[in-house]
């Protein structure tokens, strides 16, 4: 049941086509409208817009976008209402097969068949997908009952099935923690969360509210080393790991479970961008982008989790609105800024987005640290800006605002971003 | 963890050293990545002192968490006559922490019929908390051959 059966401008083409109608895509479409783009098409492969927000029934969304704490479905619906008010075409149940470097889009759906359409600008907003068992090579049998946490979330929250009766969770990322609580509240026995690292990967709030509140144990520096079961999962073997994250097999133990959820990270769902041949960031797994969220192919923008995995949908929408605004501006004849300053990760910084910026604009720079610093931390942007914060952890993305005045006396070309303990800084 | 400097100098808020009915409780602050370990000294009735915070928000959180801990609750219930089988609902406000399991259980067997609209109240004053349970998305009614049977 497609949302819009017939996009109105298939023949004439669109100013902006957005691929993916989650928190990124919907915000991008609205951004394009803000900048005067007239014909905008939002495409999604699901039967309705909203993306993963629709299965994220917990609250914690909207604090930045709407100044109010709401759930994922409410966040999706508020954006969708704006999208429809702004007369944006929404084609659902449609799969984008290819985007060419001339921005011709090949889309397939039950209503339009396989069709090509042209866009002046394209915004890639496909989000991320979950890492699976294959990504970490857990040895053992291949029974049913081993699945990603997000898949279980969809089963429980939309399709109305419980994945099993007795579950363990590998990985303490936020989706895993939220599913631990979700399953426990639906009457599933959750025996524990196992985390390879010596610290939790998810937010403190989720450790407290999803695990501690429900007496679900968290085993740090511990991982799953065996999966046992012929047809259905019956048992897993877990073991502590040493400082080099190598499992100590002689200290392992068995846990009887019929379900193992994997919450072991997300990777940008960026195949369309890969096929386009744009430059990628090996750390984020997403395309390299400029301060306007343009990829290295002119007219092709990208934003949200397809660029780097964010921890808040609100950040995704903010970044995507910017992408949409520039995609819309470019489609209506605006000039792109001169983005000749490179941003690179320095001390204790894993990656920085965007990768290049202009000197004359206001920019939000996002990055993730490699190691936690549990105390005053200095965030430094080359010689142009620094700020002190209370602490940094890899689980929480850090953002800094850069303004043109910071560049007044600076003539360099590269800015290194560092996150270091404040007391260690000698000035 | 350090004591907040303003607080350490405030003689009115210091706990009396010999007070035998004061006990100490530990909470993890959820306000920011710092995750401060809060120590809350309290009598039966009231909080005497919060230690271990690095900001005012943390101090308030410690008091609230000790006196009246609350949590938002989201779950899903069966829906008939829609394109999907479950509709998401939540408590309109956070509910007392020790009621979370009971409220989730009370909602488990609930059934509604499409159409529903975001904000519709499915249960008023759930378990006497004074808080309503509301729908968090629109689900229109669909023609019978597009429906999924609720489980």
Instruction: Show residues of chain A in contact with B32, CB under 8 Å.
Output: 390-391
Domain final position from A264, A279, A311:
A264
Domain hosting residue A158, numbered range: 132-264
Q: Which of A156, A157, A160 to mutate to test the interface with B (most CBs of B within 10 A)?
A: A160
Q: Beta-strand (E) ranges in B59-150?
A: 70-71, 74-80, 86-91, 95-96, 111-113, 121-123, 133-135
Q: Which of A46, A74, A181 to mutate to test the interface with B (most CBs of B within 10 A)?
A: A74
**What's A348's DSSP letter?**
T
State which residue of chain B sits closest to A71, comparing Cα positions: B136
Residue A21 falls within a domain, yes or no? yes
For residue A72, give the CATH number of its domain. Answer: 3.50.50.60
Higher-pLDDT residue of A5 and A23 is: A23
Higher-pLDDT residue of A394 and A280 is: A280
Residue A89 falls within a domain, yes or no? yes
The number of domains in chain A is: 3
Q: Which residues pair with A169 in a beta bridge?
A: A193, A261
CA angle, A314 as apex, A311 and A318 as ends, to 5°?
A: 115
Instruction: Show residues of chain B in contact with A208, CB under 8 Å.
Output: 28, 30
Residue A51: closest CA among A97, A18, A10, A8: A18
Q: What is the mean pLDDT of residues A276-289?
A: 97
Q: CB–CB of A213 and B100 under 8 A?
A: yes
Asked if residue A144 and residue A123 are part of one domain, the reply reads no
Asked if residue A144 and residue A81 are part of one domain, the reply reads no
Q: CB–CB of B33 and A393 under 8 A?
A: yes
Asked if residue A271 and residue A260 are part of one domain, the reply reads no
A325-354 burial code (b ≥16 CB/10 A, e <16): bbbbbbbbeeeebebebebebbebbebbbb
pLDDT over threshold 90, residue A313: yes
Higher-pLDDT residue of A168 and B7 is: A168
**pLDDT digit string, tens, across residues B78-102:** 999 998 999 999 999 999 999 999 9
One DSSP character per residue, B21-85 reads T-EEEEEE--SSTT--EEEEEE-SS-EEEEES-SSHHHHHHHHHHHH--EE--EEEEEEESSSSS
State which residue of chain B sits closest to A204, comparing Cα positions: B30
Q: Which of A1, A49, A50, A59 to mutate to test the interface with B (most CBs of B within 10 A)?
A: A59
Residue A145: the pLDDT is 98
Q: Is B74-146 a domain of CATH 3.10.530.10?
A: yes
**pLDDT digit string, tens, across residues A89-148:** 999 999 999 999 999 999 999 999 999 999 999 999 999 999 999 999 999 999 999 999
Domain final position from A240, A264, A288:
A264
- A40 by Cβ neighbours in 10 Å (0-12 / 13-18 / 19+) ranks as buried
Residues of A with a Cβ under 8 Å from any B Cβ are 1, 47-48, 54, 57-59, 69-71, 73-74, 76-77, 156-161, 182, 185-187, 203-205, 207-209, 212-214, 372, 374, 390-393, 395-396
Residue A4 falls within a domain, yes or no? no
Instruction: State how far Cα B128 lies from the chain centre.
Output: 15
Asked if residue A271 and residue A232 are part of one domain, the reply reads no
Q: CB–CB of B100 and A186 under 8 A?
A: no
Asked if residue A120 and residue A224 are part of one domain, the reply reads no
**pLDDT digit string, tens, across residues A45-94:** 999 999 999 999 999 999 889 999 999 999 999 999 999 999 999 999 99
Instruction: Show residues of chain B in contact with A159, CB under 8 Å.
Output: 84-86
- A222 by Cβ neighbours in 10 Å (0-12 / 13-18 / 19+) ranks as buried
Residue A1 falls within a domain, yes or no? no
Asked if residue A256 and residue A215 are part of one domain, the reply reads yes
Asked if residue A113 and residue A76 are part of one domain, the reply reads yes
Residue A393 distance to chain B (closest CA, Å): 6
**pLDDT digit string, tens, across residues A365-416:** 999 999 989 889 999 999 999 999 988 988 889 999 999 999 999 999 999 9
State which residue of chain B sits closest to A203, comparing Cα positions: B33
Q: How far apart are CA B130 and CA B132, in angstroms?
A: 7
Domain final position from A236, A264, A292:
A264
**pLDDT digit string, tens, across residues A196-214:** 999 888 888 899 999 999 9
Q: Which of B29, B30, B33, B87 to mutate to test the interface with A (most CBs of A within 10 A)?
A: B33
Residue B43 distance to chain A (closest CA, Å): 23
Q: Where are the domains of chain B?
A: 5-68, 74-146
Asked if residue A241 and residue A284 are part of one domain, the reply reads no
Asked if residue A248 and residue A138 are part of one domain, the reply reads yes
Residue A294 falls within a domain, yes or no? yes
Residue A3 falls within a domain, yes or no? no
């Amino acid at each position: 049941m497609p949302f819009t059966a017939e996009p109105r401008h298939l023949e004439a083409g669109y100013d902006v086509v957005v691929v993916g109608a989650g928190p990124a895509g919907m915000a991008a479409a609205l951004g394009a409208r803000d900048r005067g783009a007239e014909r905008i098409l939002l495409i999604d492969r699901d039967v309705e817009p909203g993306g993963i927000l629709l299965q994220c029934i917990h609250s914690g969304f909207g604090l930045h976008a709407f100044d109010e704490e709401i759930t994922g479905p409410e966040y999706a619906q508020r954006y969708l209402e704006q999208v429809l008010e702004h007369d944006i075409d929404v084609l659902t149940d449609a799969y984008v097969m290819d985007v060419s470097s001339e921005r011709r889009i090949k889309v397939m759906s039950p209503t339009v068949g396989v069709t090509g359409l042209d866009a002046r600008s394209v915004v890639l907003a496909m989000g991320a997908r979950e890492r699976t068992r294959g990504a970490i090579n857990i040895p053992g049998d291949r029974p049913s009952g081993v699945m990603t946490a997000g898949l279980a979330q969809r089963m429980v929250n939309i399709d109305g099935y419980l994945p099993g009766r007795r579950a363990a969770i590998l990985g303490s990322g936020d989706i895993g923690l939220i599913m631990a609580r979700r399953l426990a509240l639906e009457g599933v026995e959750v025996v524990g969360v196992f985390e390879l690292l010596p610290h939790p990967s998810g937010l403190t709030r989720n450790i407290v509210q999803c695990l501690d509140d429900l007496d679900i144990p968290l085993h740090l520096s511990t991982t799953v080393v065996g999966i046992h079961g012929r047809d259905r999962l019956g048992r897993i073997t877990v073991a502590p790991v040493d400082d080099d994250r190598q499992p100590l097999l002689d200290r392992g133990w068995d846990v009887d479970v019929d379900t193992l959820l994997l919450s072991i990270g997300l990777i940008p769902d960026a195949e369309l961008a890969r096929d386009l041949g744009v430059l990628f960031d090996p750390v984020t797994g997403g395309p390299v982008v400029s301060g306007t969220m343009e990829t290295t192919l002119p007219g092709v923008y990208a934003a949200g989790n397809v660029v780097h995995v964010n921890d808040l949908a609100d950040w995704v929408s903010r970044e995507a609105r910017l992408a949409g605004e520039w995609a819309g501006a470019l489609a209506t004849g605006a000039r792109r800024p001169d983005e000749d300053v490179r941003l690179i990760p320095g001390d204790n910084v894993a990656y920085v987005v965007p990768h290049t910026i202009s000197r004359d604009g206001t920019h939000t720079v996002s990055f993730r640290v490699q190691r936690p610093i549990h105390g005053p931390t200095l965030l430094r942007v080359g010689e142009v800006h620094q700020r002190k914060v209370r602490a940094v952890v890899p689980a929480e993305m850090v953002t800094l605002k850069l303004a043109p005045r910071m560049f007044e006396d600076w003539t360099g070309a590269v800015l290194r971003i560092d996150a270091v303990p404040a007391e260690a800084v000698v000035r | 963890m350090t004591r907040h400097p303003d607080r350490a100098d405030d003689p009115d808020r210091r706990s009396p050293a010999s007070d035998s009915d004061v006990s100490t409780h530990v909470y993890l602050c959820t306000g920011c990545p710092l995750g401060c370990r809060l120590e809350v000294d309290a009598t039966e009735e009231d909080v005497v002192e919060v230690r271990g915070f690095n900001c005012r928000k943390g101090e308030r959180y410690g008091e609230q968490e000790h006196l009246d801990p609350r949590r938002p609750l989201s779950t899903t219930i069966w829906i008939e006559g829609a394109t999907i089988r479950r509709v998401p609902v939540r408590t309109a406000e956070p509910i007392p922490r020790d009621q979370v399991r009971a409220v989730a259980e009370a909602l488990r067997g609930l059934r509604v019929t499409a159409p529903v609209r975001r904000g519709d109240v499915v249960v008023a004053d759930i378990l006497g908390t004074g808080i309503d349970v509301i729908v968090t998305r629109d689900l229109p009614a669909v023609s019978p051959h597009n429906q999924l049977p609720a489980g």
